Amino acid sequence: MLLDTIQYLLGAASGSLVGFTLGLFGGGGSILAVPLMVYLVGVPLPHVAIGTSAVAVAANAASNLIAHARRGNVIWRCALLYTVAGVAGAALGSVAGKAMNGNLLLLLFAALMVVVGVLMFRARRNPGTPNVVCNREKAPRVLGYGGATGALSGFFGIGGGFLIVPGLVASTGMPMLNAIGSSLVAVTAFGLTTAISYAMSGLVDWTLAALFVAGGIVGGYAGTWVAGKLAARKGALNSAFAALVIVVAIYMAARSALELMA
């Protein structure tokens, strides 16, 4: 698939926004990457947009993970337990997702985003428990949430941060900033798993993915810095995260519904 120069430049600019979102929220990269590729860059095939975004989000998440780890925001044991279960789920989910109509997939994606956004907004006043430990008592819950999140991540072709962040909060009770940093371990792994699946089916535009990643690295460091500032304000990160998810979901739902009716 060949795009023109303007489309590739828009891809680099979109990558900066996605990287900023990943650094700020730990999630949200995919919920922006897919609609940006479809509606702004103009990628004509939804499955190519999904596959390419999976590559870009995985790479940007890895870059942002380094920044959060340096700030001590990652609770590694919880993150790794969640990730191991999620990778298995993502591999299975991606197989099912590729078999579904692309526009219907986007519409279902939007519906899921609304549910997650509402749940996060309702939990905005919960500060979380600092220094949580994923012991034997918590491990089954963390693994269960990880597996379910991974399956949804693979099915929708996303890094899944907007699912992983609330999943980590719900399964461990960790504060939002720690969930954001820890989620990037799983976002990187889930996105990579999904990207490999789509790439094997020829559903990745590698040039666009590279430009997205380059832009995302720049935006990611800015987002990580802002996240640290917002964390001091009770509920600010949760509220902003929820608002972003719901707004993008409404737009995606409207566009996807029109495409299905056309």
Query: CA-CA distance, 170 to 136, in Å (whole number)?
Result: 16
pTM: 0.70
Which pLDDT tens digits describe the chain residue by residue (262 residues)? 667 889 889 988 888 888 887 777 666 666 678 888 888 898 888 888 888 988 887 887 888 888 889 988 899 999 999 999 988 888 888 787 777 777 777 778 778 778 777 776 776 566 566 677 788 888 899 999 999 888 887 787 665 667 788 888 888 888 878 888 898 898 888 778 888 888 999 999 999 999 998 988 888 888 878 877 776 665 676 677 778 778 877 877 887 777 777 6
Query: CA-CA distance, 96 to 108, in Å (whole number)?
Result: 13
Give residue 2's pLDDT. Answer: 65
Beta carbons of 168 and 182 less than 8 angstroms apart: yes
CA 44 to chain centroid, in Å, comes to 22
Residues 6 or more apart from 139 whose CB is under 8 A from it? 81
Query: CA-CA distance, 158 to 72, in Å (whole number)?
Result: 26
In the block, which residue shows the tokens 């737009």?
A: 251
Three-class SS of residue 231?
coil
CA dihedral 127, 132, 136, 137 (to 10 degrees): -30
- Quick one: which of 166, 139, 138 has its CA closest to 84? 139
